[in-house]
Amino acid sequence: MRKLSRRQQTNRKKTENIICSSTEEAVSILIETATAKFTETVELHANLNIDPKYADQQLRTTVTLPNGVGKSIRIAVLTNETNFAEASNNGADIVGSNDLIEEISQGNINFDLLIATPDMMPKLAKLGRVLGPKGLMPSPKSGTVSTTLSATLEEFKKGKFEYKADKTGIVHVSFGKSNFSASQLSENLIALYKSIEQNRPPGVKGKYFKSLFICTSMGPSIQLDLNMFD
């Protein structure tokens, strides 16, 4: 069995047998355990009482956190030539039409998010095997198929992102960086929790949340009281 480092042992002592009853307490411990030599990502792991194999128990939605997630993204826009100027002037990093489709088909994916106008979606169908596994296929549900490019680009540049539950019913999502202030992390955590709660799938019966944990990318899990957001 691999021996824990002194840093890991110290951090575990700070979180063992503790269930945080307030966001202030949870975020304080989170910051204390962010002791890696780089800026760590801060994550929420929510175990939900859902079975995603049923259509009415799936969770997939978007959220814009008050303080962003501390990450800049490259956005590509697939549209016709009449919209090129609008996309470029509103923050798109890559703009294209058939030429962009050809680039993608060759495996040249130099972006983190792909936004498309509806008229281009039939042409994208053949690229489902390339974009699907990477989570880059535009869809109306995620807000990445749009006729209002300027507004859509503004939202995603501000930090709007998509999240979903995995096949076991757990949501794994980042809500900031370890160099955020305590108030910024608390605001983001509350906003993310409310987003998950408000998008409760219609097929869920009884209690929705099974457990909630937060952590940094290199730190121990910190358990949250399920009633702390009431």
Burial 148-159 (b: 16+ CB within 10 A, else e): ebeebbebbbeb
**200 located within any domain:** yes
Confirm whether 6 is domain-assigned: no
Report yes or no: 219 and 23 within 8 Å, Cβ to Cβ: no
* 227 Cβ contact partners less than 8 Å away, ≥ 6 residues apart: 21
Any idea what the CATH number is for the domain that residue 126 is in? 3.40.50.790
Report the SS3 class of residue 138.
coil
Beta bridge partners of 221: none
User: Of 175, 176, 173, 179, which Cα lies nearest the Cα of 35?
Assistant: 179
Q: Which domain holds residue 133?
A: 75-157
Residue 35's domain is classified under what CATH number? 3.30.190.20
Given a contact cutoff of 8 angstroms between Cβ atoms, the answer to whether 59 and 199 are in contact is yes
Q: Does residue 48 sit in helix, strand or coil?
A: strand
Q: Is 134 helix (H, G, I), strand (E, B) or coil?
A: helix
**Are both 137 and 172 inside the same structural domain?**
no
Per-residue pLDDT of the chain (230 residues), as tens digits, is 567 677 677 767 767 778 999 999 999 999 999 988 999 999 999 999 999 999 999 999 999 999 989 888 899 999 999 999 999 999 999 999 999 999 999 989 999 999 999 999 999 888 888 998 888 999 888 889 999 999 999 999 888 888 999 999 999 999 999 999 999 999 999 999 999 999 999 999 999 999 999 999 998 999 999 999 98
Report the first-to-last Cα separation within the chain, whole angstroms. 41
Overall domain count for the chain:
2
